[in-house]
């Protein structure tokens, strides 16, 4: 009778050779340890016999942003690959949306959420940019009258510009 796994000659009355039997025992012990650490049975088997990837996210930390619109409506952004990319997105959200919203960091580690508030200084640069943007005076293209070709303001009296309107009205 040949070994079911490798095809070599096993010991009499056995399905597996000694090498394959020892490997199977070691694999089952590893699977049991992974399950004891909280991995699902399928995830543990995948790590031992499959591609080695954890599918239940027990071995990694995921990074998110918990964004609370006007401190009322929650929205989750992420996951992000690193905490640096998450923090950059948090700063961009503050710059784009202003400071009327709650922005919190959220880490998922071992399937447990860790939520934290950013310090006041964290958003200082974004808040500075927002204040500078609010103080900018919009530039309005100068109006050129199509009739007299002079710069000015459009008239409220039906003429093309204030100067033409004043001429027509005799002012």
Total number of domains in the chain = 3
User: Do residue 157 and residue 120 come from a single domain?
Assistant: no
- The confidence score (pLDDT) of residue 55 equals 75
User: Do residue 76 and residue 121 come from a single domain?
Assistant: yes
User: Do residue 33 and residue 91 come from a single domain?
Assistant: no
User: Do residue 88 and residue 117 come from a single domain?
Assistant: yes
User: pLDDT in tens for each of the 171 residues of the chain?
Assistant: 788 888 887 677 778 888 888 898 999 999 998 888 878 888 888 889 888 877 776 667 889 999 999 999 999 999 988 889 999 999 999 989 988 999 999 998 877 899 999 987 888 876 666 666 666 655 455 667 777 777 666 655 555 666 777 777 776
User: Do residue 29 and residue 73 come from a single domain?
Assistant: no
User: Do residue 80 and residue 117 come from a single domain?
Assistant: yes
User: Do residue 122 and residue 148 come from a single domain?
Assistant: no
Question: Which residue bears the tokens 């005799």?
Answer: 170
Coarse DSSP helix, strand, coil percentages of the chain, rounded to the nearest 5 percent: 40, 20, 40
User: Do residue 88 and residue 106 come from a single domain?
Assistant: yes
Could you tell me the residue range of the domain that residue 43 belongs to? Answer: 1-57
- The confidence score (pLDDT) of residue 89 equals 95
User: Do residue 30 and residue 85 come from a single domain?
Assistant: no
User: Do residue 41 and residue 80 come from a single domain?
Assistant: no
Last residue of a domain, one of 11, 34, 57: 57
In this structure, the dihedral spanned by the alpha carbons of residues 161, 167, 169 and 171, taken in order and rounded to 10 degrees, is 110
For 135-169, b/e burial (b = at least 16 CB within 10 A) is: eeeeeeeeeebeeeeeebeebeeebbbbbbbeeee
Last residue of a domain, one of 9, 42, 57: 57
User: Do residue 77 and residue 122 come from a single domain?
Assistant: yes
User: Do residue 5 and residue 46 come from a single domain?
Assistant: yes
Last residue of a domain, one of 29, 57, 85: 57
């Amino acid at each position: 009778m040949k070994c079911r796994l490798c095809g070599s000659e096993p010991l009499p009355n056995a399905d597996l050779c000694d090498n394959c039997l020892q490997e199977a025992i070691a694999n089952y012990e590893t699977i049991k340890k992974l399950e004891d650490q909280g991995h699902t049975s399928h995830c543990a088997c995948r790590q031992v016999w499959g591609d080695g990837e954890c599918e239940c996210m027990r071995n990694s930390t995921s990074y998110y942003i918990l964004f609370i619109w006007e401190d009322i409506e929650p929205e989750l952004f992420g996951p992000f690959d690193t905490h640096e990319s998450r923090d950059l997105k948090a700063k961009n959200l503050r710059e784009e949306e202003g400071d009327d919203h709650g922005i919190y960091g959220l880490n998922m580690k071992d399937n447990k959420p860790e939520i934290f508030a950013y310090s006041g200084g964290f958003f200082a640069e974004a808040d500075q940019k927002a204040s500078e943007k609010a103080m900018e005076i919009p530039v309005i293209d100068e109006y050129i009258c199509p009739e007299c070709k002079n710069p000015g303001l459009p008239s409220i009296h039906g003429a093309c510009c204030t100067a033409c309107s004043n001429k027509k009205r005799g002012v």
